[in-house]
Amino acid sequence: MVSAAPAEVVFYEKPGCIGNARQKRLLIDLGHRLVVHDLLSEPWTAERLRPFFGDMPVADWLNPTAPRVKSGEIDPAALDEAAALKLLIAEPLLIRRPLIETGHGRCCGFENNPVLAALGVRLAAGEDLQSCARAAGEPSCDAPEPAAAPRAAGGSRWQ
Domain layout of the chain by residue ranges: 8-137+144-158
At residue 148, the pLDDT reads: 41
Can you tell me the mean pLDDT for 128-146?
53
At residue 134, the pLDDT reads: 55
C-beta of residue 61 within 8 angstroms of C-beta of residue 96: yes
Long-range contacts from 15-18, C-beta under 8 angstroms, 24+ separation: 15/40, 15/144, 15/145, 15/146, 15/147, 16/141, 16/143, 16/144, 16/145, 17/97, 17/141, 18/132, 18/133, 18/134, 18/141
121 φ, ψ (degrees, to nearest 5): -85, 120
Residue type, 130: Q
At residue 142, the pLDDT reads: 52
**Rounded distance between C-alpha atoms, residue 145 and residue 139, angstroms:** 13
Query: In the structure, what pLDDT confidence band is assigned to residue 4 with cuts at 50, 70 and 90?
Result: confident
Query: Any idea which residues carry the catalytic annotation?
Result: 17
Contacts of 151 (CB under 8 A, 6+ apart): 157
Give residue-wise pLDDT tens across range 49-72.
Answer: 999 999 999 999 999 999 999 999
Please state which architecture CATH assigns to domain 8-137+144-158.
3-Layer(aba) Sandwich (3.40)
At residue 108, the pLDDT reads: 96
**What's the mean per-residue pLDDT of the chain?**
84
Residue type, 75: D
Contacts of 135 (CB under 8 A, 6+ apart): none
Question: How long, in residues, is the chain?
Answer: 159
At residue 5, the pLDDT reads: 83
At residue 58, the pLDDT reads: 98
Query: In the structure, what pLDDT confidence band is assigned to residue 112 with cuts at 50, 70 and 90?
Result: confident
Give residue-wise pLDDT tens across range 15-41.
Answer: 999 999 999 999 999 999 999 999 999
